[in-house]
Structure 1
Amino acid sequence: MNSFSLQGKTALITGATHGLGMAMAVGLAQAGAELIITNNLKEPLDAAIEQYIDLGFKASGYVFDVTDEVEAEKQVADIEKNHGKIDILVNNAGIILRVLALDMPVADFRKVVDVDLIGPFIMSKLVAKNMIERRSGKIINICSMMSELGRDNVSAYASAKGGLKMLTRSLATEWAKYNVQVNAIGPGYFATSQTAPIRVDGHPFNDFIISRTPAGRWGEPEDLAGTAVFLASEASNFINGQVIYVDGGILATIGKPSNE
């Protein structure tokens, strides 16, 4: 099982101050990785770092906006100077705006694409330089089921996440020869603080997700940890350009199997 160990590895996870990002970061730390967390706001970043340290993990934080190429370049250089290297990059920072396409201002569309697609491109490009030089590195993009499926009122998000899937494949194609693997995780519907209001019995969307998911439940944030560890470890050295959907089987079927 040593191939799954992350001992001695440094993992940079963008936006992992709560929810799914934090769950994946905890999984990486449990496997032995040192955590470096980023956020564009200091207060939530400091609170998250305190939580990681309370759990017994080695963690530090850096405040910057992943869509600001100049600032990101400076911060990545500082991280590499302070920590020696970045072995794992998880492009987790993201936003979603639920607005019908006809009502969405172009500026808001661009904002979502900037954070969810351009940000991962900037971070991957910056971090990959030293990974390529060392001939070793793991980049994990956080895609979505909207990388495959359309849905009303998320045109910007789906466009960005679909683009992120193709960015994953393109970067994997370019960097595989340098022993850098670029893969992605596509979460399904998860039980988080954001979904709590719609996860009550009798809520139409809750009933829809339960009935649509073959597993018959919402995902728990911890369900993502194993996939993150796998893609960050040597166990996935010959996997490249793939999106692993952690969705309870939604994308595998047109409906939940009957009980008959």
Structure 2
Amino acid sequence: MTVSGKRVLITGGSRGIAAQIARTFATKGAAVAINFSEAADRSAGWPNAGENLVSEIMEAGGRAYVIEGDLSNPAQATDIVDSAAKVLGGLDVLVLSASAQINKPFLDVTADDIAAQIQVNLTSNILILQRTIPIMLERRWGRIITIGSAQEVAPSAEMPIYALTKAAMWNLVCNLAVQTAPFGVTVNNVAPGLIQTDRNAHRRRDMEAWNALACQANPVGRAGRPDDVAEWVLHLASDKAGFTTGTNILVTGGAHIPTNRADGPPGRLSDRETEALRSRVPESLPKLS
């Protein structure tokens, strides 16, 4: 999956999944512009996360640049693209990862909560796309990857507006994929399930509860890792993915698969079903755990 020499802009790139995406691109020889909001990072308890990540990448021999910009401010969206294109000398790959997530039951959501999530997750993404796509169309080559969520297809009552915005972005991916395909520009979505990141670090204050949650979250029985997502993004950004567009890659450990709720947690086998499978495993192979 060759991305050497590609020029990549990653929004919300200082932490979590996006930070791992940035590392992965850099180790493969791409030049990476990492957009981040210092105010948001500081508020989350991670001051200087963007600068620290760039220093880490450069010390490892990679090329990375900081692009500070707050996507809660619509005026900064196009400036981020312009700044990235300037420091990189162009733009080949766009990864839209920045998002705002407010966890509240639907009846408790305020107008400000709605506006904040729509601004970051939709409006700023649209403005960035409007600025980026002409650059790619002119070169007749480009890769756009949006980072969605399993909540596009399996929304949680805990974050209804966030889920709504992710579903809307997936719809936009399909629309743009058709429009840009004749010009060599692909548009795809990668939708993670439960991934262990700093965003859900508060859940790991009680590791017993976290382990129970992760075990029951999907058929695989664990939380995903940021590199589980980053490898898919790398593939979609490469020359090998030129015939793949308008695709939604669900990196969920199978959590998105519809199941009968009477059967228990999503996709999990009952004890009886697990034992039935164990009985069919040849003695020469390891048993299912």
Q: TM-score, normalised on structure 2? A: 0.83
1:157 aligns with 2:157: no
- Which of 38, 45, 51 is the equivalent residue of 1:41? 38
Q: Could you say which residue in structure 2 is the equivalent of 1:25?
A: 22
The 1-side partners of 2:66 and 2:183 are apart by 28
Q: How far apart are 1:45 and its partner, in Å?
A: 2.1
Counterparts of residues 30-179 of structure 1 (less than 5 Å): 30-41=27-38, 43-179=48-184
- Kindly indicate whether the alpha-carbon contact (under 8 Å) linking 2:9 and 2:84 is maintained by their aligned counterparts in 1: no
The 1-side partners of 2:268 and 2:104 are apart by 28
- Deviation per CA, 1:121-162, whole angstroms, max 9, x where unpaired? 111111111100110000000100111112112111011011
The 1-side partners of 2:96 and 2:140 are apart by 20
Q: How far apart are 1:69 and its partner, in Å?
A: 4.3
- Deviation per CA, 1:28-53, whole angstroms, max 9, x where unpaired? 12222111001122733222211222
- Kindly indicate whether the alpha-carbon contact (under 8 Å) linking 1:184 and 1:244 is maintained by their aligned counterparts in 2: yes
Q: How far apart are 1:114 and its partner, in Å?
A: 1.1
Using a 3 Å threshold, how does the CA distance of structure 1 residues 232 and 50 change in structure 2: closer, same or farther? same
The 2-side partners of 1:251 and 1:149 are apart by 6
- Deviation per CA, 1:207-256, whole angstroms, max 9, x where unpaired? 24312411111111111121011011011111111110111111135221
- Kindly indicate whether the alpha-carbon contact (under 8 Å) linking 1:96 and 1:154 is maintained by their aligned counterparts in 2: yes
Q: How far apart are 1:257 and its partner, in Å?
A: 2.5
Counterparts of residues 111-260 of structure 1 (less than 5 Å): 111-199=116-204, 200-203=206-209, 206-254=211-259, 255-258=267-270, 259-260=274-275
User: Quick one: percent identity of the two aligned structures?
Assistant: 28
Moved over 6 A (4+): none
Structure 2 gap segments, 5+ residues each = 40-47, 260-266, 276-289
Instruction: Using the TM superposition, name which of 40-49 and 87-96 deviates more.
Output: 40-49
Give 3-state SS (helix, strand or coil) of 1:138's partner. Answer: strand
The 2-side partners of 1:219 and 1:26 are apart by 17
- Kindly indicate whether the alpha-carbon contact (under 8 Å) linking 1:23 and 1:222 is maintained by their aligned counterparts in 2: yes
The one-letter amino acid paired with 1:155 is P
RMSD between superposed Cα atoms in Å: 1.8
Q: Which has the larger radius of gyration?
A: 2
Q: Which has the higher contact order (CA 8 A, sep 6+)?
A: 1
Q: How far apart are 1:67 and its partner, in Å?
A: 4.8
Give 3-state SS (helix, strand or coil) of 2:130's partner. Answer: helix
The one-letter amino acid paired with 1:221 is P
The one-letter amino acid paired with 1:25 is A
Q: How far apart are 1:201 and its partner, in Å?
A: 4.7
- Kindly indicate whether the alpha-carbon contact (under 8 Å) linking 1:198 and 1:206 is maintained by their aligned counterparts in 2: no
1:13 aligns with 2:13: no
The one-letter amino acid paired with 2:268 is K
Structure 1 gap segments, 5+ residues each = none
Give 3-state SS (helix, strand or coil) of 2:199's partner. Answer: coil
**How many residue pairs get matched?**
256
The one-letter amino acid paired with 1:239 is T
The 2-side partners of 1:226 and 1:177 are apart by 26
